[in-house]
Amino acid sequence: MTKEKLNEKILNYINEMPSLPVSAEKVLEICGKMDVNPSDLNKVISLDPVLTGRLLKLINSAYYGLSSHITSLVKAITMLGLNTVKNLVLSMAVLNVLPKNKGRSGLNMSGYWQHCLCVAVASKLLAAKQGVIAKQTEEFFLAGLLHDLGKIPLNAVLCDEYVNLIMAADTESRPLSLVENDSLGIDHSAAGVLISNSWKLDSAINDVIGSHHNFKNYEGKNSKIVCTVAAANYLSNINKVGFAGNKKPLKLEKDVWDTIGLNEEVFNEITENLYREIDKAKIFLHIS
């Protein structure tokens, strides 16, 4: 199959992917306004009883470890903040339209989601180490969770052939993204941006999806979150948490550490909490 034909199939798959739920789209729209308040967000979410139930279940889970049970959506929004609730809604919406089981594919989806969850949690922990306030670290979590979004269409379109690319990356000791580009003319970052644009995701998440392997050439305004997720992705790969096909990641360059104001020793500092927080965050994959 030619690269042009593969690209056509990938684009067709992306165009046929489910849209985000209307409620999630409205939440993004509301939160994009300058004068939004908790009652505005509450009105939108409350119109979707399923979303409301999932959100309250998540807020009352061990992931947040709140001292009291929250039954009021307004109280939850007030406690956690608009940005946090927006990112939680988006996380659940995306996870509910993407496959979480292996099915007919080359990449094991269970390992894929374990990797994504590790990157999400590590991104959040690294953000905290940078002094990012708690109500803003959820954006880092979401960006980490979605960083490999583009592997979904590549994996689905190629089916078992995707295993050959993964094996080639391992055999040649090259990053998977480079092997994808050479073989397909497109890598998972570029494919992920196509989905992100279709769903109208935030610019920071879009930049992370598109540049977490190409941060050296990134010149946008979201360099801190892009480099944070790049570091978290590297941590997940070298520690073999889950598996998303990249056994030979490029070592992080000094520019990444300079941008986030940390060094590789921080990996040792967050490792103890990392696995514990991953266990708590697994509710994202099972909430329904």
| 201 domain-assigned | yes
Q: What percent of the chain has pLDDT over 90?
A: 42
Terminal Cα-to-Cα distance of the chain (whole angstroms): 39
Mean local confidence (pLDDT), 184-204: 92
Contacts of 126 (CB under 8 A, 6+ apart): 140, 228, 231, 232, 260, 262, 266, 270
| 33 domain-assigned | no
Burial of residue 128 (CB within 10 Å: 0-12, 13-18, 19+) is: middle
The Cα 255–Cα 262 span in angstroms is 11
Q: What is the band of 145 on the pLDDT scale with cuts at 50, 70, 90?
A: very high
What is the structure's pLDDT at 287?
67
| 234 domain-assigned | yes
Nearest residue to 237 via CA among 147, 106, 136: 147
Query: What is the overall mean pLDDT for the chain?
Result: 89
Length of the chain: 288
What's the number of domains the chain is made of? 1
The sign of the torsion formed by the CA atoms of 214, 237, 179, 149 equals: negative
Contacts of 19 (CB under 8 A, 6+ apart): 25, 97, 198, 199
Query: pLDDT (tens digit, 9 = 90+) per residue, 65-87?
Result: 888 899 988 888 888 888 888 88
| 50 domain-assigned | no
Judge whether 153 and 162 are in contact, CB under 8 Å.
no
| 215 domain-assigned | yes
CATH number for 217: 1.10.3210.10
Contacts of 277 (CB under 8 A, 6+ apart): 121, 124, 125
Indicate the pTM of the whole model: 0.90
Q: What is the band of 207 on the pLDDT scale with cuts at 50, 70, 90?
A: very high
What is the structure's pLDDT at 104?
52
| 59 domain-assigned | no
The Cα 264–Cα 279 span in angstroms is 23
Burial of residue 103 (CB within 10 Å: 0-12, 13-18, 19+) is: exposed
Between the alpha carbon of residue 220 and those of residues 159, 256, 260, 279, the distances in Å are 34, 14, 15, 33
| 167 domain-assigned | yes
The Cα 96–Cα 30 span in angstroms is 21
94-101 contacts: CB < 8 A, separation 24 or more? Answer: 94/20, 94/145, 94/146, 94/149, 94/199, 95/145, 95/284, 95/285, 96/21, 96/288, 97/17, 97/18, 97/19, 97/20, 97/21, 98/149, 98/152, 99/152, 99/156, 100/285
| 106 domain-assigned | yes
The Cα 218–Cα 231 span in angstroms is 15
Q: What is the band of 143 on the pLDDT scale with cuts at 50, 70, 90?
A: very high
Q: Which domain holds residue 256?
A: 3-17+100-286
Q: What is the band of 127 on the pLDDT scale with cuts at 50, 70, 90?
A: very high
The Cα 76–Cα 237 span in angstroms is 34
Q: What is the band of 125 on the pLDDT scale with cuts at 50, 70, 90?
A: very high
